[in-house]
Amino acid sequence: MKLEIKNVSYRYTSKGRQILKDFSLSMENTERVGLTAPSGYGKTTLCQLLSGYLKPNQGEILLDGRPLDSYQGYCPVQMVWQQPEFAVNPRLPLGEAIKEGDEIEERVIRGLGIEPDWFGRFPTELSGGELQRFSLARALGKRTRFLIADEISTMLDLITQSQIWHFLVEEVEKRQIGLIAVSHNPELIDRVCTRKIDLRLLDEKNR
Amino acid sequence: MSGKKGNTSDSRKNRSDEQTMRDVQREDAPVLKIEHMSISFTQYDRGMHQTSLPVIRDLDVEVHGGEMVAVVGSSGSGKSLLAHGVMGVLPYNADMGGRITYCGEELAKERIKKLRGREIVLVPQSIAYLNPLMKIGPQIRRGSKATEARKKLRGIFRRYELDAGVEELYPFELSGGMNRRVLISTALMEEPKLVIADEPTPGLDLAVAKRAMAHFRELADMGAGVLVITHDLELALEVADRIAVFYAGTTVEEASVQDFEHEETLRHPYTKALWRAMPRHGFQYIEGTQPYVKNLPTGCSFAPRCPHCGAECAGEIDYRIVRGGKVRCIRAE
């Protein structure tokens, strides 16, 4: 299965800055692609476009040859956000957040180190790292084919970061889920990904 | 961030008198000294039944003027509470014990109220601490319209490569990295003696993160004490003088940055595990998670994950000096 971005351009408002211009990228579901670029280069925008949260002004995003927005119901491309505290409903206990996902397996929950005690707690009662484990579990539903990880481990300590990435790499390999990892840490990308892309270089080529 | 006015010249004069007194004291006293800090929360368990949740049990750390100390700990270990405890902004159901001294004098509730935002500043962890309904410029200037404040802010923005137009934006209109730089700017509006930065760099790209840390370093080099609370050991190692490693409510090791060059010069098994988990040192991890405060083991809190754990680790463990650093492990030598 292939995830493709074809000649996508995007700006938030009609007079706003051109964030992506004629951007193209293609990846297989067996790949793990690492994206790097400085702040403000549109990494998060790209992630949102890829997972269907935003629609491109021009160009198209294809999953398996079909436009992404033609998929009804559960989106096979799932995104995990940089700041988990904004990605969960503050008024519901975290057990409910897990139910928003697509039949999350017990194995995933255990693999991410989620403690049974956390299910009854509210988002303000958990730390960023603990919340991020829930966001990850929620995104790893049964029908997920691509996972977009936007700076998911910036708030984690080194041991947890290593634990979570080891689990994720094993999980996506086993289930043949394509992974896009956005990170500022080049050493981490080297450890995790099979291919590296620097948005800055792509940008220069386009100009 | 309140928009209070009325900082008359009178009070400013008093402050400068106080300041000179304190400057004399500062020669030998650390800017900030925290001894045996403990913070616990009162929670309702079932119905009216209350339980106490000890999040920080025994925390010691010292920051001298001109020094940058990083408290490095796992997420969920209660690091942020340390900052809130010092600033006196803990929630109503929190209870703090231990002793905090600022420039040799105890930092009582009334005193911190006067000092915070002026001599002691906190750079918060999340952009959620900004007022979402207030534009960035007035928010950082705390509503001041004085030309001086405007000029100063513009200078700070230039330093962080923020456009002057950012002053007219609301927090939600900025990218994650820009928001972070705005938060750091808030610390520089006054001339602080103690800067506490709570996770100042997640979401910044490496170059900007290093520059942000370098700005904190600059504040330290100008004489302020800087306490950075972070999970990012790699970044802390690049700029800090000393590292205090925090695990499950206690400081388990205090080491100089040089000690982190080799695994052998470190003292605590947890610190060594952190070292091995760095991508450049093998990206290895150890099993398990940090114990939840409700079911902490007695004695050493790292015992369940420690390969060298023995029966004697269940007893009281002192924070002692080993090879010029401090460690809370009976086996370290």
With beta carbons less than 8 A apart as the criterion, state whether B200 and B208 touch: no
Mean pLDDT of B21-47: 76
Flag whether A205 is in a domain. Answer: no
pLDDT value of position A42:
84
Nearest partner of A132 among B206, B203, B277, B281, judged by Cα: B203
Report how far residue A21's alpha carbon sits from residue A44's, in angstroms, rounded to the nearest whole number. Answer: 15
Mutation pick from A15, A47, A114, A184 vs chain B, by most beta carbons of B within 10 Å, is: A184
The residue that leads in pLDDT, B45 or B163, is B163
> What helix, strand, coil percent values describe chain A, rounded to 5?
40, 25, 40
Tell me which chain A residue has its CA closest to the CA of residue B291: A115
Percent of chain B with pLDDT over 90: 36
Cβ separation A130–B75 shorter than 8 A: yes
Flag whether A206 is in a domain. Answer: no
Structural domain for A162, as ranges: 28-54+68-195
B202 interaction partners in chain A (CB closer than 8 Å) = 151, 154-155
Percent of chain A with pLDDT over 90: 64
Least confident of B40-49, B85-94, B229-238: B40-49
Return mean pLDDT, chain A.
Answer: 90
Flag whether A9 is in a domain. Answer: no
Plot region of A22 (φ>0 → left; ψ -120 to 50 → alpha; else → beta): left
Flag whether A103 is in a domain. Answer: yes
Mean pLDDT of A22-39: 91
Flag whether A40 is in a domain. Answer: yes
Tell me which chain A residue has its CA closest to the CA of residue B74: A157
Instruction: Classify residue A206 by burial, with Cβ atoms within 10 Å: 0-12, 13-18, 19+.
Output: exposed
Two structure tokens written together for B218? 């600059």
- Reduced to 3 states, what is the DSSP secondary structure of residue B318? coil
Amino acid at the residue B310: G
Two structure tokens written together for B178? 């820009």
Task: Check pLDDT > 50 for residue B8.
Answer: no
Domain count, chain A: 1
The H-or-E segment that residue A67 falls in is: strand A66-67
pLDDT class of A154 with cuts at 50, 70, 90: confident
Two structure tokens written together for A180? 């896009």
pLDDT value of position B29:
83
Flag whether A191 is in a domain. Answer: yes
pLDDT class of A205 with cuts at 50, 70, 90: low
Mean pLDDT of A63-75: 92
Strand partners, B58: B250
- Reduced to 3 states, what is the DSSP secondary structure of residue A134? helix
Cβ separation B204–A39 shorter than 8 A: yes
ipTM, 2 decimals?
Answer: 0.79
pLDDT (tens digit, 9 = 90+) per residue, B113-153?
999 888 999 988 777 788 889 999 998 888 888 888 899 99
CATH for A43:
3.40.50.300
pLDDT value of position B99:
93
- Reduced to 3 states, what is the DSSP secondary structure of residue A25? strand
Flag whether A168 is in a domain. Answer: yes
pLDDT value of position A67:
93
- Print the SS3 string covering B196-212: EEECCCCCCCHHHHHHH
The shortest CB-CB distance from B289 to any of A40, A113, A151 is to A113
CB B21: neighbour CB atoms within 10 A? 11
Flag whether A1 is in a domain. Answer: no
pLDDT value of position B272:
94
Residue B5 has, within 13 A of its CA and on its CB side, a CA count of: 5
pLDDT value of position B27:
53
Chain B residues whose C-beta sits inside 8 Å of any chain A C-beta: 72-77, 126, 128, 175-178, 199, 202-209, 231, 233-234, 273-274, 277-280, 283-286, 288-289, 292, 294
Select the highest-mean-pLDDT range: A110-119, B180-189, B203-212: A110-119
Report how far residue B72's alpha carbon sits from residue B86's, in angstroms, rounded to the nearest whole number. Answer: 17
Strand partners, B122: B196
Mean pLDDT of B237-254: 92
Two structure tokens written together for B217? 């370093």
Mean pLDDT of B194-218: 81
Task: Check pLDDT > 70 for residue B25.
Answer: no
The shortest CB-CB distance from A162 to any of B203, B206, B285 is to B285
Which residues, 6+ apart, have CB-to-CB distance to B55 below 8 Å? B39, B40, B41, B78, B81, B249, B293
Amino acid at the residue B128: A
DSSP designation for B116:
B
* Residue A13 C-alpha from the chain's centroid: 24
Mutation pick from B45, B51, B75 vs chain A, by most beta carbons of A within 10 Å, is: B75
